[in-house]
Structure 1
Amino acid sequence: MAHARSTGSLPVANVQALAETCNDPDQQIPERYIRADANADEVISGDDCTAAIPTVDLSKLLDPLSSDEETAKLGSACQKWGFFQLINHGVSDDVIRDARKDVAEFFRLPLETKKAYSQLPNGIEGYGQAFVVSHEQKLDWADMFYLVLRPGEFRNMALWPAHPPSFRNSIDRYSSETARVARCLFEFMEKDMGVRPGSLLERFQDQPQGIRMNYYPPCREAGKVVGLSPHTDAAGLTLLLQVNDVPGLQIRAPGGRWLAVGAPPDGAFVVNVGDILEIMSNGKYRSVEHRAVVRPDRERVSAAVFHRPCQDAVVGPLPELVGEGGGDNARYTSMGYLEFMKRYYSAKLDGRNHLDGLRIKLSSSKV
């Protein structure tokens, strides 16, 4: 098994169907979706060039003449922001176009057709929700469809839609291409961290990979709901593709305010450091809290591909960065990957609580 199984998510209403009813002026948004603090924090616009997330050019990373300079930009983005836009990544336009088309078409299928791919009890894969662990918690204004992509032998093909007919092929091609991109990024991150070549890659052997496809229906009271609760990703790296042209991602910018990330250049990925990479870097890289908001008049669709370690990996600081190897104290508890994921999926999304709960409290004399 390449991906840890959760204890399952409690069943809740389909939000896409709910939105069709609740967006009628005579209807009320159910109380479980109303967030009193949805707009409590200040949001700054990513259109401000002083606040925009950095851009990294993969073609420059691969070019010996510009590699050192671009590697420094990559490292700076991971350390200060935890997010960056990736351009010139080499994934062909047709691979991206086909993935976008088939993800969008899946969410346009009739509800009863989509329900054929519903999550199974005690699992995260399939169509439905995640992180619903109590009947009292507030709910996200979104539906999701999650699939394990790699290794291929762990795919549950019963959950891979037969419609649209090209879905399986297009997502398979997209999986291969994004895995290649992630491998390149890990190699240059090793260089930036100053660790032995292969130190990261050997922990991501076979590159376990999953995709979460998100559908955020419009909501006429968009300011009162949240598309995806503030959280960090339990992954090494996440590659986010905007399926349509509606932005909605917000990240905690340096200084603590929410930054609205504008639509990236067409075909570019938004890449973020996950909890596992922050831990393996012993805190050098940052896994940054982020959330999704919705629009009153338009749906938003996105697809996030998560790259995770192999199932027998230890999630902990790289030995070369701590103790005699790196001269620094370990700042995070080490544990097996499967235990790490079990803890993550057994609680609701709640900012950085999962990650911060693994930090080792160091005395001032040891920091």
Structure 2
Amino acid sequence: MGLEKHALVGLHNEVLHGLRVNYYPPCSTPEEVLGLSPHSDASTITLLMQDDDVSGLEIRHRGNWIWSNGKYKSIEHRAVTNKDKRRISQATFLYPRDDVEVEPFDHMIDAQNPKMYQKVRYGDYLRQSLKRKMEGKKHTDVAKIKEIEE
């Protein structure tokens, strides 16, 4: 992302974290049953551990669902069920303190890439995100600059 080595340290001086353990039993009709609906995480960093031999995490790419293959992006993703095997995953979510203000990095803004998000207190952003149904990346609307939406 073109960041200086310690650019994110200031956001995470006191790390808050959450843990989620997911269990997806075998499903006879996996094409009809989602394990977890499409969403994007509201945390600043998510670490996911999952079974090596059971696929189930997909990302949306160019309108199609594909396997994520370990890409580091805040991207819309979902969990699917497997016909023959159970799947277990553990997600650890890292968050800045509530009072930390977040906004796009200066080096990512220029004439071709105008600022799309305003500065927000992370706690306000997170609470608004948690009030919403998991709908892709809709939770980012909380911080989106209104002129850009149109």
Name the TM tier (shorter chain).
0.7 to 0.9
Query: 1:306: Cα distance to partner?
Result: 1.4
Query: 1:210: Cα distance to partner?
Result: 1.9
The residue aligned with 1:259 is 66
- Which residues of 2 match residues 264-279 of structure 1 at below 5 A? 270=70, 272-273=72-73
Partners of 2:130 and 2:21 lie apart in 1 by 17
The residue aligned with 1:240 is 48
- Which residues of 2 match residues 1-367 of structure 1 at below 5 A? 75=1, 192-193=2-3, 195=4, 197-243=5-51, 245-253=53-61, 255-261=62-68, 270=70, 272-273=72-73, 287-319=74-106, 321-322=108-109, 329-360=114-145, 361-362=147-148
Partners of 2:60 and 2:90 lie apart in 1 by 20
Partners of 2:142 and 2:56 lie apart in 1 by 28
TM-score by length of 1: 0.37
Per-residue deviation, residues 253-305 of structure 1 (Å, max 9, x unmatched): 2x22110347xxxxxxx4643xxxxxxxxxxxxx2100010012221001111
Considering Cα pairs closer than 8 Å and 6+ residues apart, tell me whether 1 or 2 has the greater RCO. 2
1:237 touches 1:271 (CA, 8 Å); kept in 2?
A: no
Q: Which amino acid aligns with 1:362?
A: I
1:271 to 1:213, Cα distance in 2 relative to 1, 3 A: farther
Q: Which amino acid aligns with 1:295?
A: N
- Please state which structure has a larger fraction of its residues in strand: 2
Partners of 2:66 and 2:22 lie apart in 1 by 20
TM-score by length of 2: 0.83
Provide the identity percentage: 34
Q: Secondary structure at the match of 2:21?
A: strand
Partners of 1:363 and 1:351 lie apart in 2 by 16
Partners of 1:331 and 1:242 lie apart in 2 by 34
1:316 touches 1:332 (CA, 8 Å); kept in 2?
A: yes
Alignment gaps of 5+ in structure 2:
none
Q: Secondary structure at the match of 2:6?
A: coil
Partners of 2:65 and 2:50 lie apart in 1 by 19
Partners of 1:210 and 1:310 lie apart in 2 by 13
Per-residue deviation, residues 300-334 of structure 1 (Å, max 9, x unmatched): 00111112212221122235655xxx676421022
Query: 1:208: Cα distance to partner?
Result: 2.0
Q: Secondary structure at the match of 2:34?
A: coil
Which protein has the larger Cα radius of gyration, Structure 1 or Structure 2? Answer: 1
The residue aligned with 1:29 is none
Partners of 2:123 and 2:88 lie apart in 1 by 29
2:24 touches 2:88 (CA, 8 Å); kept in 1?
A: yes
2:128 touches 2:142 (CA, 8 Å); kept in 1?
A: no
Partners of 1:207 and 1:350 lie apart in 2 by 26
Query: 1:206: Cα distance to partner?
Result: 2.2
Partners of 1:219 and 1:353 lie apart in 2 by 29
Partners of 1:232 and 1:312 lie apart in 2 by 22
Q: Secondary structure at the match of 1:354?
A: helix
- Give RMSD over aligned pairs: 2.6
Alignment gaps of 5+ in structure 1:
1-74, 76-191, 263-269, 274-286
- Please state which structure has a larger fraction of its residues in helix: 1
1:244 touches 1:301 (CA, 8 Å); kept in 2?
A: no
1:312 to 1:357, Cα distance in 2 relative to 1, 3 A: closer
Query: 1:201: Cα distance to partner?
Result: 0.8
Query: 1:363: Cα distance to partner?
Result: 9.4
Partners of 1:271 and 1:308 lie apart in 2 by 19
